[in-house]
Amino acid sequence: MNFLTRKSLQRRTVLRGLGASLSLPLLDAMIPAATALGATAAKPVKRLGYVFMPMGADLSRWTPGSEDNLDTLSPILESLASVKNQVTAFTNLELQPAYPGSHATSNSAFLSAARAKLTESTDYYLGTTADQIAAKEIGHETQLPSLELAMDMMQTVGQCDNGYACVYQNNLSWSSPTTPLSAEAHPRLVFEKLFGEGGSKADRQAALRKRSSLLDFVKEDMASLKRELGSADREKVDHYLDSIREVERRIQKAEVSVRENPEPDLDRPVGVPDSYRDHARLMFDLQLLALQGDMTRIISFQLARETSNRTYTEIGISDPHHPLSHHGNDPGKIERMSKINAFHVSLFAEYLEKLAATPEGNGSLLDQSLILYGSGIGNPNVHDHTNLPILVAGGQAAGVKGNRHLSYDKPVPLANLHLTMLHKAGVRIDKFGDSDGMVSL
């Protein structure tokens, strides 16, 4: 704990215990005294997030009712009301590299804006995704260059969709045209990845499981640290620790539930909460902890895989999602699909609310983050990759305005938005995918 004798704490201050490490949120004590006295804000930490919604949306219930703002939110987007001042909705963005049109290419092109090589074998080829371009530029500054998450087990191999290898459908993030990055759907494994330290993976897991809480091993150092902090910083640390405890408790509860009911569910990993809502909230809260502790600044998250046959009985939808998306213009099926769309958006809205309520520097964690939400399909009934349902949230620290609806007369490449977001994060490249310019954020 020798860092306590310095005039200010290092931003990368980490408390360590056997098999565990705990990064801290940005504290006032981490801002040099001269900076604080001069009333100059600490340099913003820019973070990028990407949340993928599968199989498009009912665009009639998605598109905002106001022409240039979000004052009239659509039925699918109404849960964003409390954070609409930090949200921009787009109409008429397209993903041309996803054509000739498939679920596999919707997924693969979403972050790459690249055309997937048509193959059922291991000679797959795509492109480096936007999140990984950012990770290579700014990922070295954090414990994890990037974090890849999902909600479904991605174990299918071979050919998944119209001659495309399953790898295109399973992976959002690619660190090179031939290197897909697998996503983790198990909350316990994500927790261990964030807070485990040293030794083999098995050793870290064993150490974390032996104790009742991650916080047990850093208790003494934490108490010593808090004696050196001001009241505002102590409150911030306490809130962060309470959040970690709560996430741990929910993970443990899910694991106990599995032991009590060992019947496997093939649609999700063993040891996750029974309901999709609880699982998704847990995965979003893990992202919040990762960003708050500055363990990573780049996150991608797949809310469900393309062609998912998951049912959402908790919101009264017993039809599998994929068949509903091919609705054949049946009004009842379209309405049920739109309820799934609204459910997904509501979970995203809860995440944004928590980011907005988390202090970071002179603003909030949402101010310092720029998060893309959307799908690589517009109208799923025809596998259309034009007029995509796309949102961007946060970024006020980088000058991003909210409460906007940007509607274009002609289709604009989604790659233009990717390029703009990279620039906002300080990653200066001239072109990305099929981009032909920038968008106004």
If asked whether residues 12 and 97 sit together in one domain, one would say no
Tell me which of 271, 290, 316 is where a domain ends. 271
- Does the residue 284 lie in any domain? no
- Does the residue 250 lie in any domain? yes
Query: pLDDT tens, 216-245?
Result: 666 667 777 777 788 888 888 888 888 888
Of 105 and 162, the one with more pLDDT: 105
Tell me the average pLDDT across 183-206: 75
If asked whether residues 68 and 167 sit together in one domain, one would say yes
Q: Which long-range contacts (CB under 8 A, 24 or more apart) does 335-340 make?
A: 335/58, 337/57, 337/58, 337/380, 338/57, 338/58, 338/61, 338/62, 338/75, 338/76, 339/312, 339/315, 340/312, 340/315
- pLDDT confidence band for 153 (50 / 70 / 90): confident
- pLDDT confidence band for 413 (50 / 70 / 90): very high
DSSP-derived 3-state class of residue 308: coil
State how far the alpha carbon of 103 is from the alpha carbons of 166, 308, 341, 374, in Å: 10, 10, 17, 14
- Does the residue 280 lie in any domain? no
The reported pLDDT for the residue numbered 163 is: 86
Q: Strands 147-150 and 298-302: what pairing? A: parallel
- Does the residue 119 lie in any domain? yes
The reported pLDDT for the residue numbered 374 is: 98
Of 46 and 219, the one with more pLDDT: 46
If asked whether residues 303 and 260 sit together in one domain, one would say no
If asked whether residues 52 and 30 sit together in one domain, one would say no
Backbone angles phi, psi at 374, to 5 degrees: 165, -165
Q: Is pLDDT above 70 for 261?
A: no
Burial class (CB in 10 A: 0-12, 13-18, 19+), 25: buried
Q: Is pLDDT above 70 for 12?
A: no
If asked whether residues 171 and 199 sit together in one domain, one would say no
The reported pLDDT for the residue numbered 2 is: 37
Q: Is pLDDT above 60 for 208?
A: no
Distance between CA atoms of residues 319 and 117, nearest Å: 32
Of 251 and 309, the one with more pLDDT: 309
If asked whether residues 213 and 261 sit together in one domain, one would say yes
User: Domain holding 165: CATH number?
Assistant: 3.40.720
- Does the residue 281 lie in any domain? no
Query: pLDDT tens, 287-346?
Result: 999 999 999 999 999 999 998 999 999 999 999 999 999 999 999 999 999 999 999 999
Q: Is the dihedral of CA 138, 141, 142, 144 positive or negative?
A: positive
Tell me the average pLDDT across 381-388: 94
Query: pLDDT tens, 113-148?
Result: 999 999 988 999 999 999 999 999 999 989 899 999
The reported pLDDT for the residue numbered 16 is: 65
Of 15 and 23, the one with more pLDDT: 23
Q: Is pLDDT above 90 for 5?
A: no
Using DSSP, how many helices (H) and how many strands (E) does the chain show? Answer: 13, 15
Of 331 and 251, the one with more pLDDT: 331
Q: Which one of 193-207, 211-225, 363-377 scores highest in mean pLDDT?
A: 363-377
Q: Where are the alpha helices (DSSP H) in 176-326?
A: 187-195, 201-210, 219-227, 231-260, 276-292, 321-325
Of 256 and 276, the one with more pLDDT: 276
- Does the residue 200 lie in any domain? yes
- pLDDT confidence band for 38 (50 / 70 / 90): very low
- Does the residue 276 lie in any domain? no
- Does the residue 399 lie in any domain? yes
Distance between CA atoms of residues 215 and 17, nearest Å: 9
- pLDDT confidence band for 39 (50 / 70 / 90): very low
The reported pLDDT for the residue numbered 259 is: 47
The reported pLDDT for the residue numbered 250 is: 85
Q: Which residues of 164-203 are buried (b: 16+ CB within 10 A; e: fewer)?
A: bbbbbbbbbbbbebeebbebbbbbbbbbbbbbbbeeeeee
Poorest-confidence range of 187-196, 385-394, 397-406? 187-196
Query: How many domains would you assign to the chain?
Result: 2
Q: What is the pTM of this model?
A: 0.88
- Domain with 266, as residue range(s), is 1-43+188-271
Tell me which of 271, 286, 316 is where a domain ends. 271
If asked whether residues 110 and 216 sit together in one domain, one would say no
If asked whether residues 252 and 339 sit together in one domain, one would say no
CB 427, CB 133: distance < 8 Å: yes
Query: pLDDT tens, 68-112?
Result: 999 999 999 999 999 999 999 999 999 999 998 889 999 999 999
